[in-house]
Amino acid sequence: MSLERWLLALFLVLLPSCATGAKAPPPQRGPEPPEDVRLYALDCGRAEIADMSAFGDEGGPRELVASCYVIRHPRGTLLWDTGVNDTIAQTKGGVVHERTGIRFRVDTPLREHLRALNLSPADVEYVAFSHLHIDHAGNANLFPSSTWILNRRELEWATATPPPPTIDPELFSAHRTAKLKLLDGEADIFGDGAVTIVPTPGHTPGHQSLVVRLRRAGTLVISGDVCHTHANWQHRRVPPFNTDREESLRSMERLDALIGAARARFVVQHEPGDLSALPRFPAFLD
């Protein structure tokens, strides 16, 4: 069932109780998500921002996290975003990125996180990208044998000549030989509504967000960079470097409606507090 149809079913279920003013029933989740779907949240690097006004937020320094997510599903393992490049872990205290002035740090390389789950990169069947900025595509080339799930517009934009200034094409050069699953819109990855990718363009042209439905933990919406902080989300602030401001605002509204209808937990990928509120890796939600 597509997410839209599922939300419609949810709406129809809720409608009678709204009309009579009766107490709302517990959250409806459509057909039960499958057993044995697990969501792991990983710290895939830190970004020290000298001045948050660069992100449209109130000024001042802040540390953001680059979080990644592993979903173990009976039909395969999916990694959502690949974080900051693992080689940065070799430099204690991190490395300052030349173009942006952001200091990136990696405490635990992604490869090591995967090892903790007894996974090698080749065991990851699907690698899905919210978008191709350096803090999301940093370890893309670790996965040459995986199927890469990308929005078509994102890949076209990120591989243009010359590349956009926010992109480092070398980080994801394995796209030339990897199996690609290019999305033109929403996609239900395993065909059972457990893992859905929804387009949320604006930050970049092919930006997308992730919806995960779990049997016990309920529905989670994982932001990508539809916003970088809760404050920006609440005040609908758009970073000046987003590729399309109006599209960014529309994406926020669309995602907010989806979160409301699904009574989902919203996880802002770059918010350290959102990561630490999730079970500490290798613990998981299911």
Contacts with Zn ion, residue ranges (CB under 5 A) = 135, 225
Question: Which of 149/268 has CB closer to Zn ion?
Answer: 268
Which one, 190 or 241, has the nearer CB to Zn ion?
A: 241
Give CA separation, 144 vs 88, 89, 155, 172, 188, in Å: 20, 21, 16, 10, 23
Least distance to Zn ion from the beta carbon of 36, Å?
30
- Rounded distance between C-alpha atoms, residue 209 and residue 130, angstroms: 6
Q: Minimum distance between the CB of residue 68 and Zn ion, rounded to whole angstroms?
A: 11
Residue number with CB closer to Zn ion (30 or 138)? 138
Least distance in angstroms from the C-beta of 242 to Zn ion: 11
Question: Would you say 65 or 114 has its CB closer to Zn ion?
Answer: 65
Coil vs helix vs strand at 70:
strand
**Distance of CA 146 to CAs 43, 124, 177, 214, 247, Å?**
21, 6, 10, 24, 30
* Shortest distance in whole angstroms from residue 28 CB to Zn ion: 33
H helices of the chain, where?
3-20, 110-116, 152-158, 230-234, 245-262, 272-276
